[in-house]
Chain A
Amino acid sequence: DTGVSQNPRHKITKRGQNVTFRCDPISEHNRLYWYRQTLGQGPEFLTYFQNEAQLEKSRLLSDRFSAERPKGSFSTLEIQRTEQGDSAMYLCASSPGRRSDRNQPQHFGDGTRLSIL
């Protein structure tokens, strides 16, 4: 198990374009989280899935952002009509979701660094 996997590692795109990131969690982890981290700041929560259900969404997640986890395994985060302010590191994390594992910590991926030109 290589841990949480994210791709691409880097994405450079022009303002106004759409981008999609992928996250593969640790196998058998039911919970999946997306965070955003800008320079000099700690990660900020965006959204959370329990299996395929999106259970929490931050106010940071504007209408241009959409996340899916269709089969309860990998997840995608899409940003439409990108803006300069979307430039950040997008982190994915996963954790077990069974009752017995409720207090297990979140494991993070390497992130996808998005740069908007």
Chain B
Amino acid sequence: AQRVTQPEKLLSVFKGAPVELKCNYSYSGSPELFWYVQYSRQRLQLLLRHISRESIKGFTADLNKGETSFHLKKPFAQEEDSAMYYCALKGNAGNMLTFGGGTRLMVKP
């Protein structure tokens, strides 16, 4: 069975502070990991994926297979980063995404 855990429901930081949204997964094979973001009144959209190894809007995430984690990080949070963030996993078999429960990030001025 595959599972994604986001331990924090809410993360509140001040503008300019570093941000780390935690994601841990459980999967026996080699998964593909994603971060999706949902801004207020907008649809769920892809933020980044581990195979791309890129930085989007200043966010990065590194897949740590030893710790089975895929934490999302940004060195300096901006107010426009306030949104719901979902970590998701795609296994080797099948095409479904398994999502975590989401973390609401609030960046205060």
Contact = CB atoms under 8 A, between A and B. Distances in A.
Are A and B bound to each other? yes
B32 to A, nearest CB: 7
Interface string A45-80: 100100000011010000000000000000000000
A112 B19 CA distance: 32
A110 B99 contact: no
B43 A111 contact: yes
A91 interface: yes
Interface in A93-109: 95, 103, 105-109
B95 A91 contact: no
Nearest to A105: B46
A90 interface: no
Contacts of B96: 33, 45, 48, 56, 58
A43 B97 CA distance: 9
Interface residues of B, number: 23
Contacts, number: 55
Contacts of B102: 40-42
A103 B90 CA distance: 10
A110 B43 contact: yes
A31 interface: yes
A43 B46 contact: no
B98 interface: yes
A44 interface: yes
Most buried by B among A3, A44, A105, A108: A105
B100 interface: yes
A103 B51 contact: yes
* Complex A-B, nearest 9 residue pairs according to Cβ-Cβ distance, in ascending order: A42-B99, A45-B96, A108-B44, A105-B46, A110-B43, A43-B99, A42-B101, A42-B102, A42-B86
Given A42-B101, A55-B95, A103-B32, 11 more contacts: A31-B95, A33-B95, A33-B96, A43-B99, A45-B96, A45-B98, A58-B96, A103-B51, A107-B46, A108-B45, A111-B43
